Chain A
Amino acid sequence: MSDTADVQTDRINQARLASLGTMVAGITHELNTPLGAIHSNHDVIERALLKLQDILEDEVVTPDELEEVRKIVRAMDGVLRTNGIAVERLVKLVESLRTFGRPDRAEIDRVDLHEGLDSTLAVLGHELKMISVEKDYGELPMVECYPNRINQVFMNLLHNATQAMPDGGTLGVSTSTNGGRVRIEVRDTGCGIERANLERIFEPGFTTKDGRVGMGLGLAISHQIVDQHGGTIAVDSELEEGTTFRVALPIELSPEHRALEGGDDDLK
């Protein structure tokens, strides 16, 4: 392998680590709210139990104590309800993570791309809090692809869209079928990309963000992944109005693309 190829491999690995870091930060944030609620509720249950033990200690319950028991029951009712909501949130998050990064999905498989888009949106949950998400999903057949890699493309496009709208906006995700291909469109109402930069946006290392390690490769990697599937990726952008990425993927991989092994070497 030449030096240039080594440098390129390093940069791709750095980009993957950086996007892993973003994901971990996102998941931590997503875990924080339900865990905070459960943590507080646990403390409330402990306190309530102590109060009940105290009331029952002399085996006589006075009218005042009865009122206190009613108060405890009301608090426990609230605890049960909020714990239910928190646990439900955690279960959904774990389910999304499982769909997003299933190890068995490193190989070619036929998948529902909406599942991949939804699990990516769930993983990005904290970044979408100030953003309104508009989904317009069409009827899609199961699509033959490397699911993990396609999820990586979704992650890059959706994460970029949220980054373009730090003060909020609308994130549109739509899907449709056209002949033997499916189309996925990711649209934001963010700052837009200058015309001069649009042509270079899929070049490795090109970035308009700050010079953090691993930046500027997300779109290059996405381009390579889509290309590896025999698909296309295109971008439209208007300054101050927003950017739209359009990905088209074949429903069936061609024998030539299916012949490519799932190893990382394909991406270098």
Chain B
Amino acid sequence: MNELMTTVMIVDDEEMVVGSIQSFLELETSYRVLPFTSPEAALASLDDERVHTIVADFMMPEMDGVTFLTRARELRPDATRILLTGYADKKNAIRAINEAGLYQYVQKPWDNDALTVVIRNAVERCQMYGELAERLVELETANEELAGLKDRWMKAFL
């Protein structure tokens, strides 16, 4: 999986936040960025989109970020999920992160370098899970082949 195919989804009800992060990622990375100001629309798109990392704001009027990321996990269990949170919401956000099993949170106002590190690590984590899942499938196939071979040998020799 190369970086060209890597997709990062950004969800925040504030267009200026989504737009700023999108501009930054488009300048500094080769990630494909999917920007959304509506969590409902973002969830609807997850049916068709392969997404590696999802960054979502905590305080959104339509749906809070933790609920959104929990529902996103049902649709795309392998995507790494990051919560974006204002200083005032930090305490609630941390509790929610633990409950929802999120990867990390990034505090607003964000630092672009720090955000890049968190997103890159999140993408890598997703890719590692993907590779691990592929190896597991290979291992299972090999195991089945081995079992079949064993059966044929038993039949041939006994």
Contacts and interface: CB of A to CB of B under 8 A. Distances in A.
B40 interface: no
Contacts of B21: 40
A43 B27 CA distance: 11
Nearest to B113: A43
B108 A36 contact: yes
B27 A130 contact: no
B125 to A, nearest CB: 24
A32 interface: yes
A81 B16 CA distance: 8
Contacts of A39: 109
A75 B19 contact: no
Contacts of A71: 26-27
B110 A40 contact: yes
Interface string B49-76: 0000000000101000000000000000
A43 B26 contact: no
Nearest to B88: A29
A89 B16 contact: yes
B38 interface: no
Given A29-B86, A33-B14, A40-B109, A79 B59 contact: no
Interface string A81-121: 11001100100000000000000000000000000000000
A37 B61 CA distance: 19
B17 A36 contact: yes
A129 B59 contact: yes
Contact of A40 (B24, B26, B86, B87): B24
A47 interface: yes
B110 A74 contact: no
A71 B23 CA distance: 10
Contacts, number: 77
A78 interface: yes
A72 interface: yes
A170 interface: no
B121 interface: no
Interface in A11-40: 25, 29, 32-37, 39-40
A37 B26 contact: no
Interface in A30-72: 32-37, 39-41, 43-44, 47-48, 51, 71-72
B20 A37 contact: yes
Nearest to B84: A36
Contacts of A36: 17, 20, 108-110
B22 A78 contact: yes
Interface of B: 14-17, 19-24, 26-28, 59, 61, 86-88, 108-110, 112
11 contacts: A25-B88, A33-B108, A36-B20, A37-B14, A37-B20, A43-B112, A44-B112, A48-B27, A82-B15, A85-B19, A129-B59
Given A39-B109, A130-B59, 7 more contacts: A33-B14, A44-B20, A71-B26, A74-B26, A82-B23, A85-B16, A126-B88
